[in-house]
Amino acid sequence: MNINKKITMSNVSVTAEVQSVKIQIEKALENSLPNENTWPVKLHKAQRHALLSPGKRFRPLLCYFVASGLGKEDEAVILVGCVAEMVHAASLILDDLPCMDDADMRRNQPSTHIAFDESTAILSATALLNQAFSVISKLNKVSDSAKVMLVDLLSHTVGSNGLIAGQMADLSNNSSATTLKDVEDLNTLKTGALFDFSIESAAILANASEAKKKHLKEFSRYLGLAFQLMDDVKDKLMTQELAEKSINKDIGKATILAIKGSRASMEILNNYLKKSKESLKMADLSNLNTFDVLFESQFSFLKILPKN
């Protein structure tokens, strides 16, 4: 009985810590953008609409707690986590456009191009990407060499071998000959690239060993695959209210769900999660219990899905 109480109190403590860090992230995101009344007003309102909309802030939380587990906790880690969130918000703006997925709902509010217009949405995404690089350049108490590494990493993450490549591949992802590996390769770019940035940038800031970086890279790979498959499951099996975004946008796409079916896809998803946790354990961070809470927050929807 006492053991169970200790476990419960430990989880409560970790949850409170996660919430405290999330509040710091929200404040840093708020401070990273001009006031909504700053000219051009429409542009800045659109940026804030996309970036400050309610979200779980999973990527900046990953950045912070990986760094923390490696012994690094400071403002720079919070800000680099915010960089990941800025890029994520920009990618969602573009992903929702009529020429892409044509989605009118994101995070339980109108997509940016619906709330404003397509031109403003595109310019807002561009501005957020630009601001992400600016944040890195102004980091305090971070060496110039580390800043160069972070800028190079972000450029690769966003570029034609990263997020953009993944989005291009996704737009033509409708071949009946597509294999599971093909989809995994696509998902590694489309979703995994930004997880890689969040986790690898934490390792850079904490000056992690090459051995730890190797295990963290595997952790990131399987987590990214799990996250994208989770997103695909939500698109097919959840209501718009529960998914908190437009659904049924993957119809006609060669997703894992389309190739393997719902039951097998859930087994694949759970295997991705298992492998990501195994890799994280090998990285030997000092705060593994924190990641149990983060995983529960992100993947708790699995408990409410139909079993068939």
Name the 3-class secondary structure at 19: helix
pLDDT of residue 6: 38
What are the tokens at 223? 């987590």
Q: What is the pLDDT of residues 178-231, one digit of tens each?
A: 888 988 998 899 889 999 999 999 999 999 999 999 999 999 999 999 999 988
CA 243 remoteness from chain centre = 16
Taking the C-alpha atoms of residue 48 and residue 34, their distance in angstroms, rounded to an integer, is 9
CATH code for the domain defined by 17-297: 1.10.600.10
The structure tokens listed for 219 are 């952790």
Which residues make Cβ contacts (< 8 Å) with residue 220, sequence separation at least 6? 192, 195, 196, 198, 199, 200
Beta bridge partners of 106: 109, 245
Distance CA(111)–CA(244), nearest Å, equals: 11
Q: Where are the beta strands (DSSP E) in the chain?
A: 105-106, 109-110
What residues in the chain have per-residue pLDDT under 50? 1-9, 308
pTM: 0.90
For residue 225 the two structure tokens come to 């695959």
Q: Taken in order 67, 13, 275, 226, is the CA torsion positive or negative?
A: negative
Cα dihedral across residues 154, 161, 245, 275: positive or negative: negative
Number of other CB atoms surrounding residue 274 within 10 Å = 12
Tokens of 63: 């950045």
**Domain ranges in the chain?**
17-297
- Distance in angstroms (rounded) separating the CA atoms of residues 229 and 223: 10
N-term to C-term CA, the chain: 36
Neighbour tally for 147: CB within 10 Å:
16
Note the pLDDT of residue 2. Answer: 37
Q: For position 297, what pLDDT does the model report?
A: 85
Contact 86, 135 (CB under 8 A): yes
pLDDT at 305: 56
What does DSSP assign to residue 105? E
